[in-house]
Amino acid sequence: MNLITDMNKLKISGSFDRDTLQRANAALYNLKSKGYKTINIDLSELERGYASDLLPFAARCRALIYDGVDTLLDLPSDRKFSRLFQNSNWAYLIDPRTFGPSEYVSSMHIPAVCYNDAESHFQAVDQVVNTLLSSLEGFSRNQLAALEWAVNEITDNVLNHADTPHGGIVQLTTKSKSNIVEFVVCDTGLGIPKTLREAHPNLTSDVAALQDAIREGVTRNKKTNMGNGLFGSFRLAKLSKGYFSIYSNYAMLIYTERNGLHVKQPQIPYAGSAIVCGIITAEPDILAEALSFRGEKYTPGYSYVDRLVEEGGATIKLKDESHSFGSRDVAKPVRIKIENLLNASPNQIEINLDEVALISSSFADEVFGKLFAQLGPVTFMSRVKITGGSTIVRQLIDRAITQRLALGNL
């Protein structure tokens, strides 16, 4: 990694990692202190980087914009990496005058989503969980609820404690090959150590405060909060053999399965909090086990899945579930979502075909043929209700099911 400042220009090349994030934050602070009202950020020679470090950097740039300092971005020259910046919404957060909000649609990821009040927070968490429904196979309601709980708790901490008008940012990445769900949550507020010291003045250092932050029941205000959000999310990551980190003020906490837990004091602070939670879903029963507080197993309450299937069942509007209907690749997330909803509730699922002009035979087989084969004729007819749609779409679905029957794939 190479980082250079020249007048009001910040140029970063090579790899963007945690050390780069610290140095880049310091550079931005120094340029603002010198009175520059515009900072040019040149990433044309940047080669690689991940949400865990680039999202907190984008959040810092966004905070500068709120403070009256424009940040202008030169994207990486590498086309694939450049698209990642735009698709992930990092480009928009850094330079909203040049780049619009991301319109990227994926069943595996969501771009960085900003929230600053209860309603936008509610929508952000729903967006995360809806993506999880389409990307994680074979999950029960309790397992999905555990992931939703963790996302909700950590993102809600921003609204309860960060004390910033900028709100927070959350980004989700799922990695199917390694069974990892990763969410990164950032804010540019007071920081976890500072808020904890309001209730625990004995925490004399940021490092001590961050160590306490992942202990059970530690919170700034026990009258309004249980103090289990960071503790429970850390347990989800640890018991699943995933990873977890917090970078806040003058403290950095890092946990990996290989190296264990380490807390250290970086030379350069992060004004706010950046939390990375990586949960491995290969053994889904562990997720429910991790949510145990004061010796008792905790079952998350009213959830996104519950709302989808209340009042007798859920309705899946096929037109809203995919950007196209031409291949197995785009059909698979649709099938996974339907399967997860069937696993989560005994109620019937309605699949509405209205406004879907045409689907391919492979799409029809991947969704409807495989569902029919998996459930069997009796269960499929009782649990899945297909409504609407054109004659040709219906015929393609019937053909897919008939071919499965003929092949004996039941």
Whole-number Cα distances in Å, 65 to 70, 71, 72, 121, 140? 5, 7, 10, 21, 43
CB atoms within 10 A of CB 358: 11
pLDDT band at 299 (very low <50, low <70, confident <90, very high): low
Give me the mean pLDDT over the 319-344 stretch.
Answer: 91
Give me the mean pLDDT over the 155-165 stretch.
Answer: 85
Q: Does domain 1-98 have CATH number 3.30.750.24?
A: yes
In terms of pTM, does the model score above 0.85? Answer: yes
Does the pLDDT of residue 60 top 80, yes or no? yes
The structure tokens 């109620």 sit at 347
Q: What are the extents of the domains in the chain?
A: 1-98, 105-302, 310-407
| CATH H-level superfamily of 105-302 | Histidine kinase-like ATPase, C-terminal domain (3.30.565.10)
The reported pLDDT for the residue numbered 279 is 93
Does the pLDDT of residue 224 top 60, yes or no? no
Per-residue pLDDT tens for 2-42?
A: 889 999 999 999 999 999 999 999 999 999 999 999 999 99
Does the pLDDT of residue 225 top 90, yes or no? no
Coil vs helix vs strand at 262: strand
Which residues in 35-167 belong to E strands, given as ranges? 38-42, 46-49, 70-74, 109-115
| Ramachandran bin of 329, using left for φ above 0, alpha for ψ from -120 to 50, beta for the remaining angles | alpha
pLDDT band at 409 (very low <50, low <70, confident <90, very high): low
Burial of residue 394 (CB within 10 Å: 0-12, 13-18, 19+) is middle
pLDDT band at 222 (very low <50, low <70, confident <90, very high): very low
The reported pLDDT for the residue numbered 228 is 75
Per-residue pLDDT tens for 183-207?
A: 999 999 999 998 888 777 788 889 9
Q: Is 272 within 8 Å of 191 (Cβ atoms)?
A: yes
Q: Among 103-107, 368-372, 391-395, 401-405, whose mean pLDDT is lowest?
A: 103-107
Give the distance from CA 227 to its chain's centroid: 21
Q: What percent of the chain has pLDDT over 90?
A: 64
Q: Write out the two tokens for 95.
A: 């330079």
The reported pLDDT for the residue numbered 108 is 85
The reported pLDDT for the residue numbered 257 is 92
